Amino acid sequence: MDSFDQTKAYAAQEEGTAFFDDGREIELLNYMYRCPKIVNKIRGKPSQVLALIDEFARTRKYLMNVGEDKGRIITQLIAKKKPQVMVELGGYVGYSTILFADAVRKAGGTRYFTLERSPEFAAIIMALVDLAGLLDVVKVVIGASDESIMRLYSTGELRHIDLLFLDHYKPAYVTDLKLCEELGLITVGSVLAADNVVSPGNPPYLEYVRNNFKARREKSIQSGVSVEHYEERFPQRNVTMYEKKFPAQNPNFASIGNPDLVYESELIKSFEPTGVPHVLLILLSIVCLPITILIVSTSLVIITIFDLISTPKGRRGTKPNTTTKTILVTGVSMTKGLTIARLFHQNTPHRIIGADTEPIPFAFSPARFSRSLDGFYKLDSPLESGKAQPYVMSLLRVIGKEKVDLWISCSSVVSAMEDAEVARLAEQQFGPQFKAVQFGPEFIRLLHQKDRFIGHVQKLGMLTPETHRCESGQEVELDLLLSQISQQQEKESKYFILKSINLDDCSRTNMTTRLLPSGPASPDTRSYIASLNISHQNPYLLQEYIRGYEYCTHSLVVRGKVQCFVACLSSDMLMHYEAIASSDPLSKAMLEFTETVVEDAGKSFTGHLSFDFLVKGEDVGKELKLYPIECNPRIHTAVVLFQDTKDLVARYVGVLQGEGYEAEEILTPRPGRRGQCYYWIGHDLVTLFTLPLLSILFGHRSVNSGFEDTRTFFGHLLTWKDGTFQFWDPVPFLMLYHVYWPMLFLESLRKGKEWTRINVSTTKVFLRGK
């Protein structure tokens, strides 16, 4: 972001409410018209009218205008989105009206509505808009915003809003937005720009536009169509700001909004989890270090005493005998791998070897320090070298050197194909005594790629979202059109999203998705499609957008039989996992789907398998419809739900035993002492504790809403289970938060990169270059 030019600063904003409506607006009007020569010079020239308003605000009195800096962000948005119709809530003296209406006209737009409650201010807007020569596009609408919206809608003057700028009474942002949604003025493709949502803050607005479909649906069911008041969630000064001028600011219309609309949101100048400065996170790690040391040393002392007084159960020091096997677990830096290694350590006499890549020197894998491992190997990363060979070779070397009997592959998406190749090569090289929990290359090729997987599910005769593989922008447009023609009988119109087929999970997080309506592509849709550079080398999947909850599953398959299974609500961003009861019809339906895929694959199918589904019809009495959207033929973090299920190891050991040893009954997670909810404290500490606290401190959030998050944080701390911390094996936790992450943050600081997303459970950080 460019730095702010101090010479352009407005006069300081006066304390209290006396920074507007004290005669200064009329003073401004006189200032603008004080000299006929100046008036003639600036008439019809919006930029010069704005320059004179800026001059007044700099040299005379402060004005609560959007200003040059923030104004530029919106004019750039206008140039990009080219709205035909733009609406502004809160016009004041017309600064933003002139700036944006000029930009809209230049971008080919035809109408700019500015809604201003004060008749005096509205009169000033009219006078200045006239001076700027913009009366042909601008319509000044006097009255409370919701009444004006309703009137413009019912008279037919306003049918659709392409761009909505919210800059009026903060508690009315959500109620007005909902009204626009319900009236169909805001639809898919509409763009919202809201001022002051970060500072002084507008939590209800941010919450509303950022809620996913599920949260919006729940919220809309809870609040129904009652008139919502958000005043208590704002600092007093935001609520009373216009009190003198408009004593009552209650919403006049109860609106449910349109819960089916999901917004993409972007914060400019933010205090959000995404991109929290590395320094802050390093500081947090330092501040928490004494507490972690206290907890870890206490558990170490207790374990040592316990080990001394009890008959040693551990296998360290005991000589391996013929029944002791060597188990290799890859991906042990991630919670999923560590969970498997720990379960083996606690419940079998076998030797456990861990292996994983380490992104930079000194960012030691936390698993190196786990009591569960008898050895650790660093693998060459396929990401760093850009080649599969070094990774494959390093893994084969470990298998050979350690004479591994069973390899449990828990690696991540970046080595999906490589792991399958290692399994094939190792079976050839080390003979039938070597076994792997890893599907072979033929299965990975079928399931890993999104389009092949959907095709395969269709072949099995199961439901899928409408999906098209597209190798050019024209193909996308044609498919959107054909879809509309084929669905003319249906009441509901379909929306689509575009997913890159080549992108892996890491790149996917940086991808912005847009909802595309079926039918002829609008210029906006067309330019979005063009921006993706879809080609034969860069194919995309045009997939029907299913409005529903997203679920994921995890299963272990041995020789074509499902051995363990769990389903939960997708929680990629929240990092909270809670199992759905195996008796739940939804869980049963997902298991049935899994079994159909597994059965089709036959007896050579051994590995971890997980699916992502979107689900429609969960309401009582409706037909449940599962739409598989992706298959991940590898272990899922949801395996953490098996942390207290010791029978799981027997299912893995079954791989070493011959055919016929597979259990008939499918294992589901056994609830631990703290139930079946897992979280990662590092994630919650930042998102639910530190950031809300900082936001309150900087006045970005009201105390009430900030404390709501803090309460949730303590609730998790007391009743949920951390994915990494185990009392008998506490050092990986210490290393994760006080060595691994700080090293990674220091490295990204050195490289000048910002992070966009952190996954504490998989120890992955996604960076964006500056």
> Partners of 499 in the beta sheet?
541
445-474: which residues touch ligand SAM (CB under 6 A)?
none
Please, what sign has the CA dihedral across residues 281, 283, 287, 292? positive
How many whole angstroms from its chain centre is CA 519?
Answer: 28
- Pick the binder of ligand SAM from 83, 113, 134, 167 (CB under 6 A): 167
Q: Which residue, 147 or 272, is less far from ligand SAM as judged by CB?
A: 147
Q: Report d(CA 108, CA 106) in Å as an integer.
A: 5
CB of 240 to ligand SAM, least distance (A): 12
Residue 143: CB minimum distance to ligand SAM, A: 7
Q: Mask 575-604, x = binds ligand SAM (CB under 6 A)?
A: ------------------------------
Q: Among 172, 399, 579, 590, which residue interacts with ligand SAM (rule: CB under 6 A)?
A: 172
Per DSSP, the three-state class of 662 is coil
Query: Given the rule CB under 6 A, which of 92-100, 211-219, 287-295, 480-488 is the region that contacts ligand SAM?
Result: 92-100
Amino acid at 714: F
Instruction: Give the 3-state secondary structure percentages of the chain, helix then strand then coil, rounded to 5.
Output: 45, 15, 40
Contact flag: residue 56 with ligand SAM (CB under 6 A): no
**Which one of 57, 78, 87, 115 is in contact with ligand SAM (CB under 6 A)?**
115
Q: Judged by CB, which is closer to ligand SAM: 169, or 611? A: 169
Whole-number Å distance between alpha carbons of 381 and 359: 8
User: Residue 46 interacts with ligand SAM (CB under 6 A)?
Assistant: no
CA 217 to chain centre: 18
- Ranges within 637-656 binding ligand SAM (CB under 6 A): none
Residue 356 makes contact with ligand SAM by CB under 6 A: no
Stretch 131-160: interaction string toward ligand SAM, x if CB under 6 A = -------------xx---------------
Of 144 and 649, which CB lies nearer to ligand SAM in the complex structure?
A: 144
Query: Would you state the structure tokens that stand for residue 653, as one six-digit string?
Result: 């050991």
Is the Cα torsion angle 197, 199, 204, 208 positive or negative in sign?
Answer: positive
State which of residues 173, 205, 213, 242 lies at the interface with ligand SAM (CB under 6 A).
242
| Smallest separation, CB 116 to ligand SAM (Å) | 5
- Residue 142: name the closest of 117, 165, 124, 166 by CA: 117
Q: How far is the CB of 100 from ligand SAM (least distance, A)?
A: 9
- Helix, strand, or coil here: 618? coil
CB-nearest residue to ligand SAM: 90
The yes or no reply on residue 112 touching ligand SAM (CB under 6 A) is no
Piece of 63-71, 225-233, 257-265, 430-438 that binds ligand SAM (CB under 6 A): 63-71
Q: Phi/psi at 155 (nearest 5 deg)?
A: -85, -5
| Residue 592 neighbours by CB distance under 10 Å | 11
| Residue whose C-alpha is closest to residue 550's, from 453, 627, 642 | 627
**CA–CA separation, 699 vs 692, rounded Å?**
10
Q: Does 249 bind ligand SAM (CB under 6 A)?
A: yes
Query: Should residue 65 be labelled a site residue for ligand SAM when binding is judged by CB under 6 A?
Result: yes
Q: Give 92 or 540: the residue with its C-beta nearer to ligand SAM.
A: 92
Regarding 117 and contact with ligand SAM (CB under 6 A), the answer is: yes
* 95 binding ligand SAM? (CB under 6 A): yes
Residue (of 428, 427, 449) closest to 438 by Cα position: 427
Span near ligand SAM by CB under 6 A; candidates 163-171, 441-449, 553-561, 715-723: 163-171
Q: How far is Cα 750 from Cα 748, in angstroms, rounded to an integer?
A: 5
In contact, 129 and 64? CB cutoff 8 Å = no
User: How many Å separate Cα 687 from the centre of its chain?
Assistant: 13
CA 489 to chain centre: 35
Q: How far is the CB of 71 from ligand SAM (least distance, A)?
A: 7
Asked whether position 205 contacts ligand SAM by CB under 6 A, the answer is no
Nearer to ligand SAM, 196 or 555 (CB): 196
C-beta atoms surrounding 114 within 10 Å:
29
402 in Cβ contact with 378 (< 8 Å): no
If one asks whether residue 173 binds ligand SAM (CB under 6 A), the answer comes out as no
Look at residues 523, 599, 593 and name the one whose alpha carbon lies nearest to residue 557: 599
* Residue whose CB is less far from ligand SAM, 120 or 504: 120
List the one residue from 116, 162, 181, 374 that touches ligand SAM (CB under 6 A). 116
360-419 positions binding ligand SAM, by CB under 6 A: none
Q: How far is the CB of 70 from ligand SAM (least distance, A)?
A: 8
Nearest residue to 279 via CA among 764, 741, 757, 760: 741
Question: CB of 705: closest distance to ligand SAM in angstroms?
Answer: 21
Q: How wide is the angle at C-alpha 654 spanned by C-alphas 653 and 656, nearest 5°?
A: 70
Closer of 88 and 729 to ligand SAM (Cβ): 88
Applying CB under 6 A, the residues found at the interface with ligand SAM are: 64-66, 89-92, 95-96, 115-118, 121, 144-145, 167-169, 172, 242, 249
